[in-house]
Structures are given as structure tokens and as C-alpha cells.
Amino acid sequence: MNFEQRIPREASARLFEEAQEYFPGGVNSPVRAFRSVSGPPLFIREGHGSHMIDEDGNRLLDFCCSWGPLIHGHDNPHIRERVIETVLRGTSFGTPNRLGNQLGKLILDNHRYVERIRFVSSGTEAVMSALRLARGYTGRNKIIKFDGCYHGHVDSLLVKAGSGLATLGTSSSAGVPETVARDTLVLPLGDRDLLERTLSEHSGEVACIIVEPIPANNGLLIQDRSWLECLRIKAWKHDVLLIFDEVISGFRVGFEGAAGLYDVAPDIITFGKVIGGGFPVGAYGASKEIMDYIAPVGPVYQAGTLSANPVAMAAGLAALEQCLAPGFYVEMAARTHRMATAIEAYARERNYPVHVPHVGSIFWLAFGTERIERADQIDAANMQYFKIIHHELLQTGVYLGPSGYEVGFVSSAHSETDLQEGVAKICAAMDVAFGENQTEKS
């Protein structure tokens, strides 16, 4: 297909060419490089509500929402005012501050599954710290993770499995020692028998099971509640800790995240994205007993110069206060459901192989008509369709994350008109990808 650029991208192209002189691949996070879609990455100048404006002046309806943190959209007035008020008093002190107390209290008062919390500066740091805590608490080294679940760029979790079986992990990134990777056991999602055999074979060696309860980094692989209940029971049976990585799902599908949605209690939860209100914040939490293993009261060391930075705490507090408004999550889920089902209905009418898994305010354009629960069910060849859809959407002013494996997000700033516009333009882009227009342009 000829990916004709029908909107100006000259300024973004110039900035990207310049950026390649400064940064590896011209970016500071790999997926931003637009390698799997068309054209240069867009350089965004500003964002307001449900829209962004790039350096060429293109106005874009945004369903990426900074990869999930912006549950209230861009330039939310309540967050903006709280941040400015805080910045005027200083940006960092390296000391405790009142805003950290307030955000911590707000979370603990409204989350049944956490008794103590520790703020850090990213989701990856939260996961890294949670793993160290689990190992320190249990005195064991091995961890179990699942193929299709991403937990940040932690060395011991940048591993992959072989042939869909439980294997000792092998590194999937240069720079990760095999000695580190070998302490990670990778299993396919949903295989209860293999999970039991693995825990039995490595009895007394496994510190924790870590899972995205709503896997949303390799497509949206929605799991049955029974699978999460199985993980909880197996962890209890074999005396290992269960970690829910809720960096995406936390405060996104409900204030208590997936733990609350499915009513399954993990031992440790990691948070990120929404918790920071658009600023770099992560956190991990657990019972008082487990968290008391963290320094300075316990032997597991973890620290951070900018942890609980007052500006980030102000933004997170302002964001989560709005999430506690009565009916907030019910309305967000209902609006996302209407959007997703409208796209699906259009696809069914025209026999396009597309369905739209969704939960809370998260959605994914999935290719094929069967439910996808595991990463190995995703046909990489179908990503050619996403490339076309993504390109067409940019030409008509809609922004999705630049990868078919990434999910989309609805924010409270998206009006019904915005969502109807999104449906219409996604459906038109599908016409190009699957209809006669694609044949004509190929």
C-alpha cells in the first residue's frame, strides 16, 4: 500500500531527524519510534481535554492518553491548578511532605487490599521493588511469570519461554545475564495443570507468582476470574506470594483495580500510570506485615531521590480525587462499551475480522473473530491491517498508540461526540484496510 501523507508532518519529520543525533533511534522509549506504522513519529506540542496538537498544527483525537495515565484527559483543570500551586512552593525537597501523606491516606482508605504503600517514580521501579520484597520476605529466589504479561524492563522479567512450556527463562534483551534469567520460570496464561506441576517441582524455591490480572501490554488478553482465583489458591497452597501488576489496570478499571473488579486478593500490588496524574509516579503496596520488611523498618532496601516528589503527589492526589466521584467508573465503562460494541457491530455487518475486547475504559482492536486470551493466539501477520488503520486514522485526526499490540484508552474528557467521531473514523479506516479501497491502493 502507498502510505500517502495527507496531513502535514514536515515539522515532526525535521524534529525526528534532529532527535536521531541525540537519542538511540531518535526516541527515549522504543515504541515511540513508529517502526511498526507509517511515517515519522508525531512530535506533540500541546494537549487539551481529549485532543492533542502536534508540531505541524494537526489536531488529533487522542485514544493513547500518554499510554494510560491520563484518565482525565490532557490539561485537566483540577490537576493543573494543584500542580501550579505546589510548584510555586518548590519542586523537590528530599524530605517527607504533607501531599505524600494525603495521597497515601486517600489510597489506603479506599483500597481493601493494601495496608501500607511505598511511592516510587515509575511502574518498572515498583515491580522491581515488589520482586525484591517478595524474595526478601520468603528467602527464595525464583519467580513465576506468564508469557504475554509485561512488567517493565526489570532484568529478571525480560525473559521468554520456549515452545509454550514451562522452561527456565532465557534472556530476551541483550545485557540481561542468563544467570538472572534462569531464576524466572515462564508459563503460558491459563494452564492450571502446568502451574501446579511447576510449583510442585520447584517446591521451596519460588518466592512469588507475578501476573498482570488484566494483561494489557501484548494486546488485551482478558482472563476469566477463575484463573485469577486459581492463582490465589495455588499461591496459598505452595506458600508463595501472589503479585498483581496493576500498573495499567490500577485505578483504571476501578479504584481498587482488577483486584477489586474480580474480588481476588493478591499479596502485593504494583501501581503506576493513573496514580501519577500525568507525572512519573509508581507505587507498591501490601499488608503491614509484608511491607514492614522494607527499610528502614525491615531488611529489604529500596530508596529513591524523587520518591513521593511533592509535585507528582499533588498531581496524583488531584487525579484520584476525581476518580472517587460517585459513578465515575460505571460511566467510564459504559461509554467505552458503547464505543467498542459500535465498532464490532460495523465489522460484523461487513464481515471484517475485527473484534474489540474491552474492560473498564481500556479497549483493543483485535484481528480475528475468536476471543484472544494468550499471546500465542495473536497472528503477527494481521498487524499489516493495523498499520493501514493507524495510517488512515492519522490522516483523519485520530491518534492511537503506534503498535497493534498496544491498547487504547478512553478518558473522562472524551465527550459522546468524541466517541462517535472515533467510531466513525475507525470504521472508515477499516473500510480501507479490509474493503475495496485497500485493493485499489495496494
Please determine, for residue 173, whether its predicted confidence score (pLDDT) is greater than 60.
Answer: yes
* 170 pLDDT more than 90: no
- What pLDDT score does 172 carry? 67
Is 22 among the domain residues?
Answer: yes
Domain extent at residue 110: 77-323
Q: Which of 265, 298, 323 is the last residue of a domain?
A: 323
48-81 burial, b if ≥16 CB within 10 A, otherwise e?
ebbbbbbbbebebbbbbbbbbbbbbbbebeebee
Do residue 54 and residue 198 come from a single domain? no
Q: Are residues 203 and 250 in the same domain?
A: yes
How far is the C-alpha of 365 from the C-alpha of 343, rounded, in Å? 9
pTM, entire model: 0.94
Note the pLDDT tens digit of each residue in 139-149: 999 999 999 89
Residue 394 lies in a domain: yes
Cα 112 from chain centroid?
22
Instruction: Give the residue from 299, 323, 347 where a domain finishes.
Output: 323
The enclosing domain of 67 has a CATH number of 3.90.1150.10
Identify whether residues 34 and 107 lie together within a single domain: no
The active-site residue, picked from 113, 137, 150, 284, is 150
- Contacts within 8 Å (CB) and 24+ apart, 290-299: 290/133, 290/137, 290/241, 291/115, 291/116, 291/117, 291/118, 291/133, 292/116, 293/133, 293/136, 293/137, 294/118, 294/133, 298/136, 299/136
**Residues near 307 by beta carbon (within 8 Å), at least 6 away in sequence:** 118, 119, 120, 121
pLDDT digits (tens, 9 = 90+) for 287-326: 999 999 999 999 999 999 999 999 999 999 999 999 999 9
Residue 73 and residue 277 in contact, taking contact as beta carbons nearer than 8 Å: no
Task: Determine whether 273 is an active site residue.
Answer: yes
The domain total for the chain is 2
pLDDT of residue 299: 97
> In this structure, is residue 235 part of a structural domain?
yes
**Sheet holding 358-359: strands in order across?**
358-359, 362-363, 408-409
Q: What is the DSSP string of 189-225?
A: TT-HHHHHHHHHHTTTTEEEEEE-SS--SSS--PPPH
189, burial (CB in 10 Å: exposed 0-12, middle 13-18, buried 19+): buried
- In terms of domains, do 352 and 410 share one? yes
Catalytic pick among 54, 245, 267, 418:
245
Q: Does residue 3 form part of some domain? A: no
CATH number at residue 122: 3.40.640.10
pLDDT of res. 167? 38
Tens digit of each residue's pLDDT (9 = 90 or more) over 381-426:
999 999 999 999 999 999 999 999 999 999 999 999 999 999 999 9
Q: Examine the pLDDT at 164 and tell me if it is beyond 60.
A: no
Look at 378 and 158; give whichever has higher pLDDT.
378
* Residues in contact with 198: Cβ distance below 8 Å, sequence separation at least 6, in sequence order: 144, 166, 185, 187
Residue with cell 520484597: 133
Question: CA-CA distance, 305 to 91, in Å (whole number)?
Answer: 13
245 given a catalytic annotation? yes
Mean pLDDT of 94-109: 97
Domain limit, last residue, from 270, 294, 323 = 323
Residues 336 and 232 in one domain: no
Cβ burial 145-159 (10 Å sphere, 16+ → b, else e): bbbbbbbbebbbbbb
- Cell (9 digits) for 113: 487490599
Examine the domain organization and report whether 283 and 149 are in the same domain: yes
Compute the CA torsion angle 192, 195, 199, 200 (nearest 10 deg).
Answer: 60
Q: Which of 142, 273, 387, 425 is catalytic?
A: 273
| DSSP states of 271-326 | E-GGGGTTSS-EEEEE-HHHHTTBTTTSSB----TTTT-HHHHHHHHHHHHHHTST
